[in-house]
Amino acid sequence: MAEIRHALNVKREDDFATWYQEVISAADMAEDSGVRGCMVIKPWGYGIWERIQRLMDDRIKDTGHDNCYFPIFIPLANFEREAEHVEGFAKEMAVVTHHRLIAGEGGGLVPDPEAKLEEPLVVRPTSETIIGDAMARWVQSWRDLPLLTNQWANVVRWEMRTRMFLRTSEFLWQEGHTAHETAEDAKEHTLRMLEVYRACAEEDLAMPVIAGEKPENERFPGAVETWSIEAMMQDGKALQAGTSHYLGTNFAEASGIKYQDREGTEQHCHTTSWGVSTRLIGGVIMTHGDDDGLRVPPRIAPRQVVILPMLRGKDGDDALIDYCEELRAKIAAQFAMGEKIRVLLDTRPGKAAAKRWDYVRKGAPVIIEVGGRDMDNGVVSLLRRDKLWNAETGRVDYATPSRDEAAENMPALIEDIQKSMFNEAAERRDANITRGLTSMEAVSDFFASNGKYPGWVEVQWSKPSGAGLEAVEEQLKAHKLTMRNVPKGSEQADGTCIFTGEAAVERILVARAY
């Protein structure tokens, strides 16, 4: 086994947080904007987001939702209506107080005191209350239900400590909002959208997740039930990658969303909301990235195949470009996983080796290099990014199929990469969930002694609320742990609660988390 010289300066096993930042910069995905807590999403990062958007949007539309657009500004009064909701959000919102600037005394600009708003406006941190206003106008009768809406938008939560893609003051997301006749319908829809998130995470992002219900203390402010998908990052921490909330009639009562039921009686609707955000990109990085940069699953790769002719700035270049263009056209005419294959022939000036490493760091799933000798032999040199190295030689592991074979096998190769990336992550996830710990002491020992990246534990608990729940939180907090969710379909409890010693009622995942 030869030693491999990786493309990044920092390895995952040495310093995961620094590695994460280096991937973002090495793959040219995003950068700090200079505006507090806001990032600039660069073409490769935004291209991944466009792919996620497209696939998720199709899934959301397939479940009967229409997209709408609601105002970015929310009047203060809306927040005052739902007590828990305001408690949860009021502490971290951007507040607009003026609508004009004028020249200040020092020559700079200042808010014009004459243009102070009578009622300040909040930049939406989430849109339950403003969409609730619209729903109250739109719903009259049971015939108007279910009302299934979604919007793609930017939102702002004033975060003190930010990290690119994972926690930024401004982020991009979709937020679905629905109204239903009955609690049963609304709860069913909450789980339907959770399943959409699971499917998109696992099938599109190749990111295995555990879908389950959050404990009471982790609920969305104002929700009756909060469900999540949780993904295990390569450092063993959990990432909450999407949430789906059953809101009961709390928001309907606050906003006056009422309908006449089939018997003519006026009722409050049961509502749901659910969202995923650019945070998913952070999940992709920490699920699939390696010591050479990002690896993008083919379904969400802006370019699935990149062809790099080894140009020499000489006469032979034209023939080489023609040879590559024929390959490009053959690949581009084919479908993989139901979509046209996205292939780029990169003829910009520059050395092929430098470009190869650019695309390795960006994580393009398939990189094809073609030199003059390859052309003469009718072959190409092909790298699959998910299996980059030959461990024996310590070199990148080229295959050299004929050009026609490379083109013909591309759909199968792309599908194999997608599947293989999911399986690799799922195996790691499964290997790193520990079950059977029966006391808080055992849990604490486990996290203290099980290496740098200990993973998750599943424990049994009695699901206390109030002061009992707070005591559980405190116990976990001492070890920087949190409860993640109660996995859907997990085995019934059969033991005692590791926190209270009472009879356990369910099994819950405990982990360090982002």
Among 13, 15, 17, 40, binds a copy of itself (CB under 8 A): 40
- Which residues lie across from 235 on neighbouring strands? none
**Binding status of residue 79 toward a copy of itself by CB under 8 A:** yes
Q: How far is the CB of 48 from a copy of itself (least distance, A)?
A: 11
Q: How far is the CB of 327 from a copy of itself (least distance, A)?
A: 22
CA–CA distance, 276 with 451 (Å, rounded to integer): 31
CA–CA distance, 13 with 453 (Å, rounded to integer): 9
Quick one: 98 or 163, whose CB is closer to a copy of itself?
Answer: 98
DSSP classification of residue 326 = H
**Binding status of residue 34 toward a copy of itself by CB under 8 A:** yes
**Binding status of residue 96 toward a copy of itself by CB under 8 A:** yes
List Cα–Cα distances, 149 to 134, 138, 175, in angstroms. Answer: 11, 12, 9
Quick one: 16 or 142, whose CB is closer to a copy of itself?
Answer: 142
**Binding status of residue 446 toward a copy of itself by CB under 8 A:** no
HSE, side-chain direction, 13 A CA sphere, residue 284:
33
Contact in structure between 63 and 72 (CB atoms under 8 Å): no
CA–CA distance, 157 with 74 (Å, rounded to integer): 13
Among 6, 18, 63, 72, binds a copy of itself (CB under 8 A): 72
Among 7, 94, 321, 337, binds a copy of itself (CB under 8 A): 94
DSSP classification of residue 503 = B
Q: Which two tokens stand for residue 397?
A: 């592991």
Quick one: 308 or 476, whose CB is closer to a copy of itself?
Answer: 308
Quick one: 117 or 426, whose CB is closer to a copy of itself?
Answer: 117
Quick one: 72 or 505, whose CB is closer to a copy of itself?
Answer: 72
User: DSSP H helical segments within 351-465, as ranges?
Assistant: 352-362, 372-377, 403-408, 410-431, 440-449
Q: How far is the CB of 96 from a copy of itself (least distance, A)?
A: 5
**Binding status of residue 133 toward a copy of itself by CB under 8 A:** yes
**Binding status of residue 31 toward a copy of itself by CB under 8 A:** yes
Task: Find the part of the chain contacting a copy of itself (CB under 8 A) among 8-16, 114-122, 321-329, 481-489.
Answer: 114-122
Q: Which two tokens stand for residue 57?
A: 């949007």
Q: Binding-site residue total for a copy of itself (CB under 8 A)?
A: 64
**Binding status of residue 73 toward a copy of itself by CB under 8 A:** yes
**Binding status of residue 123 toward a copy of itself by CB under 8 A:** yes
* Listed residue (502, 501, 499) closest to 478, CA to CA: 499
Unique residue bearing structure tokens 């581009």: 332
**Binding status of residue 322 toward a copy of itself by CB under 8 A:** no
**Binding status of residue 491 toward a copy of itself by CB under 8 A:** no
CA–CA distance, 236 with 239 (Å, rounded to integer): 10
**Binding status of residue 259 toward a copy of itself by CB under 8 A:** no
Q: How far is the CB of 192 from a copy of itself (least distance, A)?
A: 19
**Cα-flanking dihedrals φ and ψ of residue 482, to 5°?**
-140, 160
Contact in structure between 169 and 157 (CB atoms under 8 Å): yes
Q: How far is the CB of 150 from a copy of itself (least distance, A)?
A: 10
Task: Find the part of the chain contacting a copy of itself (CB under 8 A) among 45-53, 178-186, 192-200, 262-270.
Answer: 45-53
Question: Which of 231-243 are b and which e, b meaning 16 or more Cβ less than 10 Å from the residue's Cβ?
Answer: bbbbbbbbbbbbb
Task: Find the part of the chain contacting a copy of itself (CB under 8 A) among 126-134, 210-218, 333-341, 451-459.
Answer: 126-134
**Binding status of residue 90 toward a copy of itself by CB under 8 A:** yes
Unique residue bearing structure tokens 């792309």: 414
Q: Interface residues for a copy of itself in 193-252 (CB under 8 A)?
A: none
Question: Which of 274-306 are b and which e, b meaning 16 or more Cβ less than 10 Å from the residue's Cβ?
Answer: bbbbbbbbbbbbbbbbbbbbbbbbbbbbbbbbb
Q: How far is the CB of 469 from a copy of itself (least distance, A)?
A: 25
**Binding status of residue 70 toward a copy of itself by CB under 8 A:** yes
Nearest 5 degrees, angle CA 221-CA 226-CA 232? 115
Contact in structure between 227 and 484 (CB atoms under 8 Å): no
**Binding status of residue 83 toward a copy of itself by CB under 8 A:** no
The contact set with a copy of itself (CB under 8 A) reads 31, 33-36, 38-43, 46-47, 49-50, 66-77, 79-80, 86, 90-102, 108-111, 120-123, 130, 133-134, 137, 143, 149, 153-154, 156, 158, 170, 172, 349
